[in-house]
Amino acid sequence: MEAECLGAALELVSSGGVGLSPEKRAALGASLLLLRRDYRFQRVWFWGRIQGLRGAYYIAEGLGADLAAPRSRLYSLNCVEWNLLPPASGEMVARAEALKGRFQGDPSFEYELTEAKVEDDEKLPEDRQELVIKEEIRLVATIEQIDKAVGIIPRGSFVKTPLGPVHENRNFEGLSLTEAKKLSSYFHLAEPVNLKNKTLLEKADLDPSTDFLDSLEHDIPKGSWAVQLEKGGMVVVLRSLLWLGLTFYHVPMTKQYGYVYFGTGEKNLDLPFML
């Protein structure tokens, strides 16, 4: 969610029992604006909080001119001082997926991960080495996983230019209430996968300037999103059942939308058995 409207946005998602204390809100409101100035970001999003056993990570994302380009991610332990995280790689994500359990809340904490070396196409029990992974690496990999899986935007809010870069659609005035209740009206803010597999006939009705991302209607497992009307039917709220703690909100017929994560950074692997 946008740093400029942090207080109002947190109120719209507070029905889920999550939020920040007035002190934290005030600290974030000031520090995020300084963050945008110091790093020369065009806009800053408050991504959310990952709660550890001994502390919490407050996450922010900085964006440039191209809104589809990789975002810069930063974390803070006190909502005032920020540290830049390294870019997430495929190897980081793969190793982080092998780690189980809660975050500690200490960036320097080290996890030990046993990895088998493959020699002559055979895995031998004795050919194992201990890998040490810092929690800071697990943190950025987890943020990447959550963003890719459940980071979403309303259809039409972003527009892709003929040259490739993605910008905010200044003509976007919000979804109608009818459209806002449909999963097909929301897109994953990540590299599309299902879109590439569509036939030319299926793509014929799509607008390449706005329909360049994957919609939520084909997410697997089916039923991984809960759609609700709140605040007297004035706000549409989507909650992810795959990454518990991810909440998206949109006020129909307005430009107000965003998502925030308040959770432990653990994927709900039991979801297929719960549906």
Helix or strand or coil: residue 146?
helix
Q: Would residue 75 count as lying in a domain?
A: yes
Percent of the chain scored above 90 by pLDDT? 51
Mean pLDDT over residues 88-93, rounded?
87
Q: Would residue 117 count as lying in a domain?
A: no
Confidence of residue 120 (pLDDT cuts 50, 70, 90): very low
For the chain, how far is it from start to end, CA to CA, in angstroms?
29
Query: What is the extent of the structural domain holding 86?
Result: 3-90+141-266
Q: Would residue 247 count as lying in a domain?
A: yes
Q: Would residue 10 count as lying in a domain?
A: yes
Query: How high does pLDDT run on average in the chain?
Result: 86
Q: Would residue 114 count as lying in a domain?
A: no
Peptide bond into 221 cis (omega under 30): yes
User: Which range is least confidently modeled, 24-38, 112-126, 226-240?
Assistant: 112-126
Q: Would residue 213 count as lying in a domain?
A: yes
CA-to-CA dists, residue 275 to 1, 188, 222, 269, angstroms: 29, 22, 8, 12
How many independent structural domains does the chain possess?
Answer: 1
Q: Would residue 97 count as lying in a domain?
A: no
Mean pLDDT over residues 205-210, rounded?
75
AA letter at 6: L
What's the confidence (pLDDT) of residue 128?
Answer: 57
- Burial of residue 196 (CB within 10 Å: 0-12, 13-18, 19+) is exposed
What's the confidence (pLDDT) of residue 232?
Answer: 83
Tell me, yes or no, if the pTM score tops 0.75.
yes
Q: Would residue 105 count as lying in a domain?
A: no
| Number of Cβ within a 10 Å radius of residue 249 | 23
Mean pLDDT over residues 170-178, rounded?
92
